[in-house]
Amino acid sequence: MNSNEFFQIKNKWKEFPTKIQGGVLCVGEIPVVAVDEKELQYLFVEKLFKDSGKKVVEIGYGLGFASDAIQKFIPREHIIIEANQKLARVAMHKFPLGVVLNCFWEDVNPLVFGQADLIIYDPINPLDSKLSGRSLALQHLRPMWEEILPKMNVGARIGGLDASGRLKEVEIQKMVGDLGEVEVFTCPPDVIPRGLPWFNEGCNFIYISKK
Ligand SMILES: C[S@@+](CC[C@H](N)C(=O)[O-])C[C@H]1O[C@@H](n2cnc3c(N)ncnc32)[C@H](O)[C@@H]1O
């Protein structure tokens, strides 16, 4: 999906129907998360949470795998931001005491990000099909980097997990705001789960965490 296609469908994203097709959740016709990703999403959250009581902002509900895992760690607050109406409703139903915002994260008051202990960033971004590997992964990161990161304190951490389960993180202060210096994993071909070609392109789960 390139940016032209993405911006054309973005205003319909809220109302798109959802379906599971070939083991993949699709919003409209766009594949967003595979049923096979459950374990990885769990692993990701488990690696991040060393303790309970965190204030977590999660971007992108999808099949709710990461949300379920976050709940296991008894967060102090768990805000889920999900643009699609149907998926947001599922989240509201499943977590009646949680906060589910049915909107794009780009439209959320920045204070919500500034006050979080941990941000888990897993939305869908328009990606340029001419890019690959590290450049493509960086393109996925860019909106978060430009919009969310300035609201976080120096000393916050940013990182990601690839399909082999490797977690990599760096401190924001070491990167002096230059996205070009961010180290991004690309997943070795032998560990790419079958049917999940997007893992080939680098970190899929991105998080930001206060120290
Ligand atoms: C990769 S899936 C998330 C998978 C999820 N981590 C899980 O455990 O199942 C991406 C989700 O983000 C939502 N989404 C995409 N762009 C978004 C945006 N800009 N703001 C909020 N939600 C968005 C999609 O509707 C989709 O549900």
Is 28 a domain residue?
no
Buried b (16+ CB within 10 A) or exposed e, 61-84: bbbbbbbebbbebebeebbbbbbb
108 C-alpha to ligand 1 centroid (Å)? 15
Is 81 a domain residue?
yes
31 lines ligand 1 (CB under 6 A): no
Is 183 a domain residue?
yes
CATH number (domain holding residue 51): 3.40.50.150
Is 20 a domain residue?
no
**pLDDT averaged over 10-residue windows placed end to end, the chain, 211 residues:** 73 94 91 86 76 85 94 92 97 91 91 80 74 65 70 59 60 47 48 52 55 45
Is 11 a domain residue?
no
Position 174 scores a pLDDT of 42
Is 204 a domain residue?
yes
Is 88 a domain residue?
yes
Position 211 scores a pLDDT of 45
58 lines ligand 1 (CB under 6 A): no
> What range defines the domain where residue 51 resides?
36-210
60 lines ligand 1 (CB under 6 A): yes
33 lines ligand 1 (CB under 6 A): yes
Position 157 scores a pLDDT of 59
Number of structural domains in the chain: 1
83 lines ligand 1 (CB under 6 A): yes
82 lines ligand 1 (CB under 6 A): yes
33 C-alpha to ligand 1 centroid (Å)? 8
**Sheet strands (E) in the chain:** 18-21, 24-27, 30-34, 55-59, 77-81, 99-101, 118-121, 157-161, 167-171, 205-209
Is 185 a domain residue?
yes
- Structure-token match 């709710």, residue found: 64
DSSP for residue 124: -
